[in-house]
Amino acid sequence: MIRTDLIAPLAELLPRQAAAYPDKVAFDDRHRAITYAALAAEVAALASQYRAMGLEPGGAVGVWLPNSVDWIVSVLAAIRAGGIAVPIAYDARQDEMAYRVADAGVGIFITRSEKAGALADLGGAVPDVTILADDDPNAERPDLRALCAEAAVGITLPPDDIDATSMIVYTSGTTGKPKGVMLTTRSMLWVNAACWASVVGLGPDDRVLSPLPLFHSYALNFSVLSIIATGASEYVMERFSPREAMDLLEQGNFTIMPGVPTMFHYLMLAAKEEGRNPFHSVRRCVSAGAIMPASLNDAFEDSFGIELLDGYGITETSTMVTMNWANAARVPGSCGLPLPGLAVRLVDSDDNDVPFGDEGELIVRGPNVMQGYYGKPEATEAALKAGWYRTGDLARSDASGYLTITGRLKELIIRGGQNIAPAEVEDTVQKLAGVRDCAVVGIPHETLGEVPVAFVVPEAEMPTLQAVKDFCARTLSNYKLPHDVVAVSEIPRTGSGKIMRFRLRDGYTQPENA
């Protein structure tokens, strides 16, 4: 059953929940808690302030904050004001942040004072207004908390178009340049209606512990919009730590915890080391963002005696495509069944449907499919064909419809749920003195799923792994840094110049201390 009653614009949804649960805590973090009534009031006030600052319909608001209640209010207010929220990872490097600000045309920017200095180097892409989300010694910069306290005088908020682009979520592609995925409030809440509320059973009696990075579509969907739509309550961790998560779980009477496979692996290890079972009040956990190994799923459920439901999703489909159902049979290694109301096909290279059991490319059509890539019509045209989104992922289906992901046509590396474009890392490594050529390949890893390994053709002396990491760390986030560096005499390529990554992957030997 698809819970269509939970799909509504924020202009309707927030007041509805404020009336139903005025004194109930919607979100809390280690700094503050906010009730549903206060959330509706703060979002409306900040949205009016954005409008007073000149935000026009479709204008972009960049949010460069750590996981927090302030992050949630800032993003929701951008949508409520008729703008587009552009979340940016708080640990993004200067170049990564600058690209997103320029690409999305961010006009209003919210960050903390410790990051504000980074804006000085943006050149012509400097946002019109910078708002700080903490005490700012510079009185010229508006303060977020003060703006949330009172609505701007004389401002009437525009109608809330649920079908307009309301979020641009950046995802790495094989070209190396991140693409801004245009999502709507309807597409995101449809996933809640068809999956989180119906398949997983998220509801108003749930208390959620979320360690997910909010700038990811998975967290933006599950840990923000779906919490509001269902009337649940959630504690937002600033960052994932196994021991902090265990402490919170033991103290907080939580009922559901979302995560990625790596998080559940480390939680299981930490709990075993300390002889703890922190999931005493949890009825089920949810995993997405990367493929869950069947062995990890079984070991987790055996250790803690609760369901760990995993599914398959991508940013371009507002997160989920398939899900394993609560209290239902599951196929080992499968990512579950397609969401109700979603059309999926497995096709060969000629777009013919493949028989059950055969491998084909997974393509998807439904209300959750993106509008396209912001400012990239050619990439959009290549990805969307007659309404079908071509995932680039290979899968098999059994006769009951259970899908199992078997590989990728795309070259994207998924490390612990984080997407890495090989070309982006290659471009950086090749700038290092002494590197003649380079190819980056995703290598299977026991706990992280995949890690990037750089195959380097040196000019003379081979650079050390640490030297490559140190050089890359100047411009790349830590999760993108090469896990290993291997010297090769040449990079195998096709006649058209494309890297034959499978040859490098097949010939790779894992270091003994990896």
- pLDDT for 158 beyond 70: yes
Q: What is the pLDDT of residue 7?
A: 98
Of 305, 231, 243, 221, which Cα lies nearest the Cα of 5?
Answer: 231
Top pLDDT among 135 and 105 is at: 105
Of 191, 161, 150, 466, which Cα lies nearest the Cα of 320?
Answer: 191
What distance lies between CA 213 and its chain's CA centroid?
A: 7
In whole angstroms, give the CA distance from residue 129 to residue 81.
Answer: 15
422-429 vs 465-472: helix crossing angle, rounded to 10: 110
Question: Between β-strands 233-236 and 207-210, what pairing exists: parallel, antiparallel or unpaired?
Answer: parallel
In whole angstroms, give the CA distance from residue 131 to residue 71.
Answer: 12
In whole angstroms, give the CA distance from residue 142 to residue 49.
Answer: 10
Q: What is the pLDDT of residue 5?
A: 95
Q: What is the pLDDT of residue 513?
A: 60
Of 97, 109, 166, which Cα lies nearest the Cα of 142?
Answer: 109
Top pLDDT among 7 and 141 is at: 7
Query: For 259-287, how does the pLDDT look when each residue is reduced to its tens digit (9 = 90+)?
Result: 998 899 899 999 999 999 999 999 999 99
What distance lies between CA 207 and its chain's CA centroid?
A: 21
Q: What is the pLDDT of residue 317?
A: 97
Is the pTM value of this prediction over 0.75?
Answer: yes
Q: What is the pLDDT of residue 171?
A: 85
- pLDDT for 359 beyond 60: yes
Q: What is the pLDDT of residue 174?
A: 43
What are the chain's domains?
1-330 (3.40.50.12780), 414-506 (3.30.300.30)
**Cβ–Cβ < 8 Å for 141, 132:** yes
What distance lies between CA 448 and its chain's CA centroid?
A: 16
- How many residues are given for the chain? 514
Average pLDDT score, the chain: 92
**Cβ–Cβ < 8 Å for 230, 196:** yes
Query: For 344-355, how does the pLDDT look when each residue is reduced to its tens digit (9 = 90+)?
Result: 999 998 999 999
Which of 8-17, 137-146, 284-293, 452-461 reaches the highest mean pLDDT? Answer: 8-17
In whole angstroms, give the CA distance from residue 177 to residue 219.
Answer: 22
**Cβ–Cβ < 8 Å for 142, 134:** no
Contacts of 484 (CB under 8 A, 6+ apart): 443, 451, 453, 454, 465, 511, 514
